[in-house]
Structures are given as C-alpha cells and as structure tokens.
Structure 1
Amino acid sequence: MKNFVSMKSFKDFELLALIKEVDQFFNGQSVNLSKDRKRFVANLFYEPSTRTKMSFEVAEKKMGLEVLDFHVDQSSVQKGETVSDTAKTLAAIGAEALVIRHPEQNIVQSLATQLDVPVINAGDGKGEHPTQSLLDLYTIYREFGRLTGLNILIVGDIIHSRVARSNAYALKTLGANVMFSAKAQWQDSSLPFPYVDLDQAIEQCDVVMLLRIQLERHQEKDSFAVESYLDQYGLTEAREQRMKQDAIIMHPAPVNRDVEIADSLVECPRSRIFKQMEYGVYARMAVLNNLLAEETDYSDTITEKLYAHVNGI
C-alpha cells in the first residue's frame, strides 16, 4: 500500500504493527530518510491547522526531510489552479510525498489515485483523519496495553467529525467496543455504531473522547446555547467523578473549554489531551517511514514488522 488516506483500508495486524512503530520512535529510535540525498515532502494545507501541520513538520525534520511549505493565500490557487494541478506540480518539481488537508470530503483519496508519489490524508472535510486516529490508537494502547475489549465512548458532533469516523473504523478493527453520544441533530446514521445516553454510559467506559463542535461545517447554523451544551452533552466535573478509576479523557483539539469539556478537566490527572499532541509527532514519523523508507513494498514491510512484534524480535 503506497498511500495513507483511510483507516478503513487497514487490517488489525497492520494497525498493530504501526502502533508498535510509533512506540519505537517515541522511545528514541531515529531514522534519517535523506542520508544519501536530499528528499522533499510537501505539506498542502487548504484549511487552518496547528497540531497536525506543526507535528508533521517536526516529524519530517526529525527524519532529515526537506519541507516544502505551501500557503494557499500565496499560491496559484488564488489564480484558479485546482488542487489536482497543484499536487501534480509539487510532485513534478521533486516532492516525494504529499501531506494534504482539504475541506472537500474524499478529495485526498481521489488525488491518491492520480499521483505517482505517496499521499497522506491530513484531514478531508468531514471524511477521515487517519494520522489523528493513529496517534489516538497509540495513546489508548500505551495506557492499557491493548485495544481489544475496551469500551470507547466518542461524544459530540459526530456527523461533522472526521476524527470520529477514522477512530470508529480503526477501533472496531482492533476489537474495541465503540459507542457514540450526541444530540439528535449531530448523529450520523450511516455509521454502524450504537448511540448511548452519556449519563448512562459514563461509568462503563475506559475512554471518553470529546469532539469539538464544528460550526464551520454546519450547513445550517445550529441554534444552541454554549452555556447549556456542557451541562446537557459535555463532560462536566460531576460526570468525570463517575468515570471508572482508570478511565482516561481524550480530545483531538482544539479544545473549546467549558463547551464540550469543563475547563478544569482539560489538564486533570486523567486527561491525555496534551499527551495526544506529543504522540502525534511519532505517529506521523511512523507513517512517513512506512511510505518513504527505501525497502520492500509497504505490505511486506508491515508483515515483517508484525512477525517481529509477535515473536518478540
């Protein structure tokens, strides 16, 4: 497999091998992908980003890659150039991989079929966000040493969330029990996961993952009071006190404090929100390494890593 665009395309052993590799990078393994020659990666972000864009850049630089930093407002996009032509231009001038975030759903998957260089999905509209999912999987795996059998509750703006979609697919593949909780207007019936009442589920969950309300993706602006959303649908201090003793809180960020989660809980002892950000660099290093390392094809590499992982070598 030459691209990293969707969590739906991975088997359980492939995800486990990637998680293992994230762990190796987190624990100090280093790799220089440009040791023999300069190699370039282009970051094309058509939407604002802090964590994803910066962690990709840190990961790329840690691996010795030269970063081509694309700015929409200073590019030929302003002259009418399509995203496809921009991507093909950067590949033509030497980019060996493209990291793409775009507001249009499925456009990254489409570009991957048109290009001869690896494409990494850094978020496509309300479609998927697979590298965020990988760092989330690693966060959970690092905490519990497994994903199979864990109860994962994803709470918030499900229908507009690419994070919810990628995580639900990946967690199900790895044997976790995935549940959603959302106000009726923000539920997505196309996703085959049960919706539960937040107050009824909070005591049974190992992970409570909050989502930002993505008003920029709402076709019709929802009329809701920010002040009452937290009490009705968010993680309050009272709900946090009912969580299992070893349960953790996650959030892909940016966090709207006192909207989806009480301000006092963002950095509480059970919160892993800033740890997720830290792990993001290493998750993106693992993805880049699998796509750019000059070795056998991706599927063979993953199989070899899994064999080593299972057999302790």
Structure 2
Amino acid sequence: MFLMRSTFEIQDYMFRNNLDIILLLLTLVFLVVLSRFSISWFTKHLDEISSGMDRLVEDSEDRISLSPEMDFMENRLNTIKDKLKRQKEAAQEAEQRKNDLVVYLAHDIRTPLTSVIGYLSLLDEAPDMPMEKRAKYTRITLDKAYRLEKQINEFFEITRYNLQQIKLEKEMIDLYYMLVQMTDEFYPILSEKGNTAELHADENLTVYGDPVKLARVFNNILKNAAAYSYPNTEIAISAEEAEGDIKIVFQNHGHTLPPDKLAAIFEKFYRLDEARTSDTGGSGLGLSIAKEIVTLHGGTIVAQSKDNTVTFTVSLPATH
C-alpha cells in the first residue's frame, strides 16, 4: 500500500515537473500540423491567384473565377481585367480614328487637288490664251487652292482635338452680345435665300468658356442651318439658363433627317447632302469640331429632326 502510494506520488511529481516540456511538445506538434495545413492552403490559393493572373492577359470574355474564400481577390482581378479591356478598346478606337482621318482626308482632297492641277495644266499648255480667259482660270484655281488650304487646316484642328492638345482660355462671356454679333455677320449669307435669323435671349446672359472656340461652335451650327434651310424661312436662335446649364438652341426649317443621318451628323467628313463635296460645299468637319469644343467645355450637343424642322441644342455648365 505504501509502495503504491509512493509510486503514484513519484509519477505525479514527475508529471508536474515536466508539464512545461509536455506543453511545449504539444505546442510544437500543433504548430507543425498548423503550418503544414497553412502551407497547403497557401500553396493551393497561390496557384489559383497565379492562374487568375495568367487569365488577365488572355483575349477572352470569360470572367476570372476563384474559390469562395478568395472572393476578394477574384473581384480585384476582374476589375483589373475590365480596366485592361477598356484601355485596349480605347487604343484600338484611337488607332481606327487616326486611320479614318487619313483615309477621309486623302479622299476629300483628291477632287480639289485634281481641279487645281487641271487648271494649272491648261494655263501652262496654252501660253497664248486670251487674258480674260487666263484671269478666269487663275481665279478659279486660286479659289480651289484656298478651299483646299482651309480643309487641311480643319483636318489638323480636328486632329489636335482628338489628341487632346487643345487648351481652353476661359473667361466670362457676354453670350447675348456674341449671338447678336454672329447673327448680324450671317445676314448677307442668309439674305441670299431670303432667310432670316431671330434671336430670343436674356440680354444679361453670360457663360464661362473660351470665347473664340465657342464662337466657332455657334458659327458652324448656324452655317449648317443656313446651308440646309428652306428658302424664305426663319432660323430661330434662343438661349436661356435651365437646370444648372446654359442651353443655346438653333432651329431651322429643312428636310426631316432620317435616323441614320441624324446619328452620323457629328461624324468627321460627314455631309447631309452627298452631292456636296469639299469642292462645292463644306469640309464635313464643322459639326465634328463643334462637338469636340463643346465636350472640352464639359457640355453636350445634340441634334433632333422632325416635321421638317432640325434642332441643335448646346448645353454648357452655368458655373465654373
């Protein structure tokens, strides 16, 4: 009995004295098991992340999918994939716009350039041509050369807008005075077809913007209205502040535009009348330039057409 008690006491004593060692061993075993589990988990998900990153550069519409516990990383990778996709599409669109500009320019300058060469050849091949006829051909050639120069200048201007190299020189503008002055300047052009322009606007209306470039916008819109208005009709111009914007509206009476033409009206080198070329009409850049300028001001420009009426509405921020 005494012996058994002594043995028990000895074992208890040894257990108490070695408790720290036992706990340390158990802790080490636990850490080993935990580390192996952690390494396995980490390795598995590292492979998942690596695979997901590989799919970032793949030309695929499929979304990146990871295990549920990696949801945060899945969202992050898909966000990056979407951003890369948008950047790629933007680069492709920019390249396409550049190519289109070159093609359109080459197509549009061919006719006036051919005419210039043709008239100069006539003058060169007929040195004894009567002075009156020579003067006529010289005048026509010079006029076509000026048209060609204007078109090339507009081409370079729209290219600068596309490359965002245009800087605005903003100031407070007396919008009413600007529109009155523009209407007066167009009187000779409008009167040729018996047309008139009527302005309705608050005399104290102002807008913050680049006066030279906004004048170009309104000039291009009014020029378009003058070109496509029915004879003996009125072009109505109005301006007002509404819903935090300054709205300038140009409305003329002309053929109702079909949806496809209306949708393309702000495209570069687009002409409503396909019979009009750069040699007989505008360059087809006026409304495209107008849209670029308005967008640069943080505004919008839209065109509507119904019941033989065409309406252009320019909206600009009322405050700066």
Q: TM-score range by the shorter chain?
A: under 0.3
Answer with 1 or 2: which has the greater Rg: 2
Greater RCO (CA < 8 Å, at least 6 residues apart): 1
TM-score by length of 1: 0.23
Structure number with higher helix proportion: 2
